[in-house]
């Protein structure tokens, strides 16, 4: 015990007191590992510009703890967002008073300003947004933050913007490959058996609500979808899969980011594409996603802290992606 106390004391003394490094989201925040890793890996960068930035960063890829480094001086010119931006943690107190927007210096796009600091992406590039409407919406998310702490999980538009500007351009082929691979197991292709007393009522509702969407898929892509009663779905025609893949390849970065987000939340690429193509409104997409579960809730009741949380999360994920896409489109 004495050796452990000595090791902790030496580790704490090794941290430069002029640099504020506070682990915020780890259950081991008081352990020797975080104390020593903070001293080893969170040293201020060499450049003057980076030194004066207010940054959030994680220790490494395996350790998702967030560290907050305060501005070294009033010469700060930017705010760099972390790679692990969307966590359930509060990542430090609000350090700005006023949120504004301004046109980019090259006249192409719009920026968000926190006082005199320009928001940057995780790779420290300017967060250049395609429209003023989207910039103002993201500025509103930052304005909403409370003085006691910044809550990244309340900024879904900010997350989607970082995804569209950073992740999509670098990993576009992988995103499309993942979406296409899951296409055969799409939610709308998997319906309850009609010859079972326990599932026949669910099947009837699925036919009523999903058939119009399946007919739209056939008219949109020229191939009739195959419906399966298996939970794991089944193989769709190669022509339909290829047509959907080509649509994804033609989409711009904001569209692909929105499609990916909605497909992940709804477990359906078809629903995601229908929202992007204005075939489905937000409420309709949510209804189709929850069709079977809502039927069970009507029959057996809603579980508080379970179903209601799932519904709220789904609403946020689908609506934020749809709103993000609408605001990102130039009129």
- Whether the pLDDT of residue 79 is over 70: the answer is no
Query: Which string of DSSP letters, residue by residue, matches 152-170?
Result: GGG-HHHHHHHIIIIIHHH
Q: What is the pLDDT of residue 192?
A: 78
| 101 pLDDT above the threshold of 50 | yes
- Asked if 134 and 155 count as a contact pair (C-beta separation under 8 A), the reply is no
Spatial distance between the Cα atoms of 58 and 89, rounded to a whole number of angstroms: 13
Can you give the pLDDT at residue 221?
96
What token pair was written down for 64? Answer: 């998702």
Res. 35 pLDDT band, cuts 50 70 90: very low
* CA separation for the pair 150, 141 (Å, rounded): 10
Mean pLDDT of the chain: 78
- The DSSP 8-state label assigned to residue 249 in this structure reads H
Q: pLDDT class for 86, splitting at 50, 70, 90?
A: very low
- Span 306-330, average pLDDT: 91
Name the one residue in this structure whose structure tokens are 């036919």: 207
Share above pLDDT 70 across residues of the chain, in percent, rounded to a whole number: 72
* Model confidence at 286: pLDDT above 70: yes
Band (pLDDT 50/70/90 cuts) for residue 50 is: very low
The pLDDT score that the predictor gives to residue 5 is 47
pLDDT tens-digit map of 213-251 = 999 999 999 999 999 887 677 799 999 999 999 999 999
Say whether 129 sits in a helix, a strand or coil. strand
Residue 218's pLDDT is what? Answer: 96
Residue range 170-199, pLDDT digits in tens: 999 999 999 999 999 999 998 877 777 666
**How many H-runs (helices) and E-runs (strands) does the chain carry?**
13, 7
Residue 55 main-chain phi, psi, to 5 deg: -125, 150
Dihedral, CA atoms, 156, 154, 283, 219, nearest 10 degrees?
10
């Amino acid at each position: 015990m004495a050796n452990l106390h000595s090791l902790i004391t030496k580790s704490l003394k090794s941290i430069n007191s002029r640099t504020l490094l506070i682990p915020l989201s780890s259950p081991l925040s008081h352990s020797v590992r975080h104390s020593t890793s903070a001293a080893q890996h969170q040293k201020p960068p060499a450049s003057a510009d980076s030194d004066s930035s207010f940054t959030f960063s994680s220790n490494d890829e395996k350790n998702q703890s967030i560290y907050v480094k305060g501005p070294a001086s009033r010469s700060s010119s930017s705010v760099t967002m972390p790679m692990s931006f969307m966590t359930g943690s509060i990542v430090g107190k609000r350090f700005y008073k006023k949120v504004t927007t301004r046109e980019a210096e090259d006249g192409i796009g719009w920026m968000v300003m926190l006082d005199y600091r320009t928001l940057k992406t995780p790779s420290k590039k300017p967060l250049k947004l395609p429209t003023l409407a989207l910039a103002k919406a993201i500025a509103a998310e930052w304005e909403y933050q409370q003085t006691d702490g910044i809550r990244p999980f309340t900024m879904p538009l900010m997350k989607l913007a970082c995804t569209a500007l950073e992740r999509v351009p670098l990993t576009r082929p992988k995103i499309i490959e993942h979406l296409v691979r899951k296409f055969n197991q799409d939610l709308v292709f998997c319906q309850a058996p009609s010859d079972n007393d326990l599932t026949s009522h669910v099947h009837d509702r699925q036919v009523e609500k999903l058939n119009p969407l399946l007919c739209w898929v056939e008219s949109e892509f020229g191939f009739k979808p195959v419906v399966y009663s298996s939970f794991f779905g089944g193989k769709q025609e190669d022509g339909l899969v290829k047509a959907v893949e080509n649509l994804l390849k033609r989409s711009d970065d904001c569209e692909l980011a929105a499609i990916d987000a909605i497909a992940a939340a709804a477990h359906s690429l078809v629903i995601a594409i229908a929202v992007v193509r204005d075939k489905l409104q937000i409420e309709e997409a949510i209804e189709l996603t929850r069709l079977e579960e809502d039927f069970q809730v009507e029959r057996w009741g809603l579980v508080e802290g379970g179903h209601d949380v799932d519904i709220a999360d789904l609403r946020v994920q689908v609506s934020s992606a749809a709103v993000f896409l609408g605001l990102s489109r130039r009129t």
